[in-house]
Structure 1
Amino acid sequence: METNENLQNLIIKKIKEVFDPEIPVDVYELGLIYNVSIENKNDVYVSMTLTSPSCPVAEALPQQVKRKIEELKLINKVEVELTWQPSWNRSMISEEAKLTLGIL
């Protein structure tokens, strides 16, 4: 049986397969994922944001995250909530992504 920490790492690995269509960096490294929690019976709750409310993939990106997590056979149910609080800003980008984007 997977521990929550192992399962958390597997979920994050799946989330990292989702890329922002305009930036060559995954949504996790961009800092768009605020929280990943595993509830009873391996239900997963993800809180995420987008770079801006007018983002052209506002509907598609959370669904891509949800579908990627659902690929894990251990997962029972996935809920992805889109939030605008706190507002995303460039400081949320990981060091690795900043290097990729050339903004370090």
Structure 2
Amino acid sequence: MSEETNLKEASDTLRDKVMYALKSVYDPEIPVDIYELGLIYEISVHPVNNVYILMTLTSPNCPAAESIPAEVEASIKKIEGVNDVNVEITFDPPYSQDMMSEAAKLELGFL
């Protein structure tokens, strides 16, 4: 295997671990994890295992606006090998229920 292939596999594995960690974070008012809710717009793993998350909240006035991003950062930092975590909040595009996974819609009674 080439060095590039090994780096790609390591990155995919770390990305999978990040995704799994994100599924452990819940909006305190909704019984579905933030990944299934569709709040995660981007997961990037950069060289030296720096992780970048671009996410949104269910609304700009979300009462958990400070706690959710902090919990996201903390859950990713627990992953062995992660160097640095940058969580960025955006409201573009605005969140809508269409962003939820089928599982989330089912759990919340939208299907």
Displacement of 1:41 in angstroms is: 0.2
Aligned structure 1 segments of 4 or more residues deviating by more than 6 angstroms: none
- Residue 65 in structure 1 maps to residue 72 in structure 2: yes
State percent identity of aligned pairs.
48
CA distance in 2, matches of 1:11, 1:74: 11
Q: What is the TM-score of this pair, normalised by structure 2?
A: 0.91
Matches of residues 27-66 of structure 1 in structure 2 within 5 Å?
27-66=34-73
Number of matched pairs: 104
Summarize deviations over 1:23-76 as a string: whole Å, max 9, x none: 100000000000000001000000000000000010110010000000001100
Q: CA RMSD in A?
A: 1.0
Gaps of 5+ in 2: 1-5
Match of 1:99 in 2: 106
Q: What is the TM-score of this pair, normalised by structure 1?
A: 0.97
Larger radius of gyration between Structure 1 and Structure 2: 2
Gaps of 5+ in 1: none
Displacement of 1:6 in angstroms is: 1.2
Structure with greater helix share of residues: 2
